[in-house]
Chains A and B, each alone.
Chain A
């Protein structure tokens, strides 16, 4: 067998891998694997320093295959492939081994086993890399239109931003009107300006833009395809819409705390959003109001903080005080989440206006007094060490935003993940915060987690700017993972073309006479179904060949046979 010059780079990922897996031991192990001529540990393989080191070692050691053992190819493969390419190595002579998500993070209390497993995974990766071959990528066109799902502040901003760049946008909103949650809000923190001042120009801009098509009362019914060429079915629309990119801006909804604090049977117990509705109608003049924060947030089953509900409570408390400076307004809370310059200033302003803050213990939460009508709230006041009774003409429950009820359905259609709380999950919290790991799909606003308007707008700018990149370039490179038929082995049985979901395979006349399979690489999406269906091993998949996958199995079998 031909010799190879394989280099192995094992990432510590700070403590993420290095804190559990004994990286130096793993590096030593990798160095002794067949055809490995160089191995090193890297504090952060994906850092500028880590990448330069890989490039330098490719040159210094004449590496012809590179294996990086670090995190997941779903987020970092492109980065390392680019590094290989920059060092003059074909980007497909790179193999990724996942020793973080699939090892250190799931075996945090078993460092010995995790170390052994990392070795084993690297052995398999090195075995596959031996058979990797250089590949050329095809280019595929990106249809220069975008789909934005959700017509709230995030979706409208994203749509307008794309349209202003000259790109056509399809904006879907399930309600009869644009606006999302924003349309139910009264005034906006921190200037307490009317929502209309922000909303009206934005909505007008969206409605009047010639490049934006709005579909009201519509929902996504089905999505097929890939970056550059998605086909989307929408309720109430005949046929399909063709788009190159998709932005998810479906927002969240206010938690209705059914069964807590008498909601909704006690008439004067409301949520903050319901209070905003009343304030909007011009109702004010309350004498006494008690707000209870963290209702349904930071509890078992919903552990997260709503992030801006403290400010919502402060805002409405200030507005009530402005309506009637004599009103007694109390906010019962566990902690104050008011970080940053404006929020802290706002917190102080609310105290200056006379809003009173009382800390409650979630173990003995406040109690509503009165049956059909709340008359007061009883709460244990920790500072004075006894229960106090607060008058309450109205009780307002501050609840967090929760995920939309049909996120699961949409996530399945788009094949993008949801986090454990049911919000959409980005590709990487820090490095790829407004896109999914699946190319061509982006997200912004409260679909991701509760986001206030400023955050939703900046995320929408980011998502639309990201989505514009492939649409502006007009082409994306397609991963070289397509199938190909080896003519000399093909008997022309046609199994492959019968299972191909994309009609990418044809039988063509061969020079030897008879028919052989031929794959149209531009149509092939690289599932590999035809490869498994081929009885003769004639059909193969680039970067996932039988030989490469069998080498991984062999490597593992060898380990079992030779014992620990």
Chain B
């Protein structure tokens, strides 16, 4: 029941920009909602679309991919692939009946701790507004 107003959100953050931005938010002691779980990947382009589909179809309330700003990718062009895949993925989610709003892609640089905190807060609100993911398995007991 408590989960209804506390969505569980999975974040993939690239090592070079967004994860560092998240670290900076921490170093700056910026407060934000506690329902996000950051998974570090080297590049946002590592995130296989299947990960997003698996997470959302099995009940997580939201999935976010964070990458370097376009043009700033540590691997030159990884985030452009992420961007294209995300566009296709949004359409796919809609097609299979998952609210596309549960999946978000944002750019956060290593120096944008405040932007990280703000993004987490905003996305939490957006996903909260969508309500709990209906695909969540019923709770035991």
Contacts and interface: CB of A to CB of B under 8 A. Distances in A.
Interface of A: 72-74, 98, 100-103, 105-110, 113-114, 116-117, 120-121, 124, 224, 408, 411-412, 415-420, 425, 437-438, 481, 499, 501-502, 525-529, 531-533, 541, 544, 546, 549-550, 552-553, 556-557, 559-564
Contacts of B117: 106
B23 A412 contact: no
Contact of B45 (A100, A107, A528): A528
Contacts of B98: none
29 contacts: A74-B23, A102-B22, A102-B23, A103-B34, A105-B27, A106-B25, A117-B37, A124-B39, A417-B110, A417-B111, A418-B111, A419-B24, A420-B28, A437-B20, A481-B42, A501-B77, A525-B75, A527-B45, A527-B46, A528-B45, A529-B45, A531-B48, A544-B46, A549-B51, A556-B10, A557-B54, A557-B58, A561-B139, A562-B139
Contact of A532 (B40, B45, B60, B75): B45
A98 B20 CA distance: 12
B28 to A, nearest CB: 6
B31 interface: yes
B55 A101 contact: no
Given A102-B26, A120-B37, A544-B41, A532 B46 contact: yes
B110 A411 contact: yes
Interface in B71-121: 72, 74-78, 81, 85, 109-111, 113-114, 117
B69 to A, nearest CB: 8
Contacts of A528: 41-43, 45-46
Given A557-B59, A563-B140, A408 B111 contact: yes
B81 A533 contact: yes
Give the bracket for the number of chain B residues in contact with chain A.
35 or more
Given A529-B43, A553-B51, A562-B139, A110 B78 contact: no
Interface in B46-73: 46-49, 51, 54-55, 58-61, 68-69, 72
A83 to B, nearest CB: 20
A550 B60 CA distance: 13
A105 B26 contact: yes
Q: Give the most central of B3, B37, B48, B136: most A CB within 10 Å.
A: B37
Contacts of B40: 73, 98
A181 B52 CA distance: 51
A415 B16 contact: yes
B17 interface: yes
A431 to B, nearest CB: 13
B32 A106 contact: yes
B139 to A, nearest CB: 4
Nearest to A121: B37
A501 B78 CA distance: 8
Contacts of B45: 499, 527-529, 532
A517 to B, nearest CB: 16
Contacts of A499: 45, 81
Given A501-B76, A532-B85, A113 B68 contact: no
Nearest to A499: B81
B46 A72 contact: no
B42 to A, nearest CB: 5
A64 B12 CA distance: 27
